[in-house]
Amino acid sequence: MTAVARVAGFAAVVAVLSAGAVAAGAALHPDPPGGAAAEHEAMSMAMAVRGLAVDQDGLRLVVEGRELRRGVTGELRFRIVDDAAGRAVRDFDVEHTKRMHLIVVRRDLTGFQHLHPAMRPDGTWTAPLRLDAPGSYRVFADFSHDGTATTLADDLRVDGAADLRPLAPPATVATSDRGATVRLDARPRAGEEAELGFTVSFRGAPVRLQPYLGADGHLIALRDGDLAFLHVHPTGDGRPDQVHLEATFPTPGRYALFLQFREAGRVHTVPFTLDVA
């Protein structure tokens, strides 16, 4: 066999092996449907939920005294620790007019509270907290540090036999804790940005909403089951009696929504259950 023939034969073998490797790689790691655009969308969906872990990107939530007495107002203390630096973080960005938002809710999505703790010079955050029902609670520290929005979560426990309740069925109308009637207009689909519209009235008459946390309203969305925390953006559109927000629900299923707004100097909280297709 001539040298030219040997080289040609070797090149043919390499071509066959390379084609086989490409085919095997495609079988083991196929491109996502839709290619790079779908992959980007999947990453965006993953970023849309937070609050599933006690630590993220080198930051860790440290809660002191996770066993609470039922029906007694105590002081909840926690820190956000930078593991690399080995100390508590003390520089936080202002988000929705606050440097820290603390959300507490029982695992069955009852007993919702939205608190704004105060930070001590050593980086310890404190907030008064009273939990009247026994059971396991989820506490979310929602903040921004160095321009990165983060939500870390841990569990609290109140001793006693917990009377767990199923999530209320979906409805388009609900009543706030101060008696306002709120109507929800939303047709969300998983993985797509959806607009949520809320219209508020009191005794049949529209109300004029006042700014709350720098916007028309504030919404916390939690996924039923794992209590994944969704970041929701107010749009500022609509009439004086309306709150408009945008959210991306990452998966189909049932979500608990907690809308808060201010009317006549009073802050209202109203829960909704929303099914996402």
- Residue 178 and residue 268 in one domain: yes
In a domain, 4, yes or no: no
- Residue 149 and residue 245 in one domain: no
Domain end position, chosen among 128, 158, 188: 158
* pTM (two decimals): 0.83
Residue 7 has pLDDT above 90, yes or no: no
The 10s digit of each residue's pLDDT in 94-114 is: 999 999 999 999 999 999 999
- Residue 211 and residue 150 in one domain: no
Give the three-class secondary structure for 127: strand
Compute the Cα dihedral for 15, 17, 20, 25 and give only its sign.
negative
What is the total count of domains within the chain?
2
- Residue 186 and residue 127 in one domain: no
- Residue 182 and residue 99 in one domain: no
- Residue 65 and residue 124 in one domain: yes
Quote the DSSP letter at residue 98. Answer: B
In a domain, 44, yes or no: no
Looking at residue 236, its pLDDT comes to 84
Do residues 196 and 184 lie in contact, with contact meaning Cβ atoms separated by under 8 Å?
yes
Question: For the chain, how many helices (H) and strands (E)?
Answer: 2, 23
- Residue 144 and residue 208 in one domain: no
Rounded Cα gap, residues 160 and 196, in angstroms: 37
Looking at residue 237, its pLDDT comes to 81
The CATH number of the domain holding residue 146 is: 2.60.40.10
Domain end position, chosen among 158, 184, 208: 158
Looking at residue 161, its pLDDT comes to 92
- Residue 181 and residue 154 in one domain: no
Confidence of residue 253 (pLDDT cuts 50, 70, 90): very high
In a domain, 245, yes or no: yes
HSE-up (13 A, CA, CB side) for residue 5 = 2
Domain end position, chosen among 129, 158, 187: 158
Q: In the chain, what percentage of residues exceed pLDDT 90?
A: 79
For residue 270, give its domain range: 173-276
Rounded Cα gap, residues 162 and 2, in angstroms: 85
In a domain, 42, yes or no: no
In a domain, 136, yes or no: yes
Q: What is the chain's mean pLDDT, rounded?
A: 86
The 10s digit of each residue's pLDDT in 160-209 is: 999 999 999 999 999 999 999 999 999 999 999 999 999 999 999 999 99
When pLDDT is averaged across residues 25-35 and rounded to a whole number, the result is 40
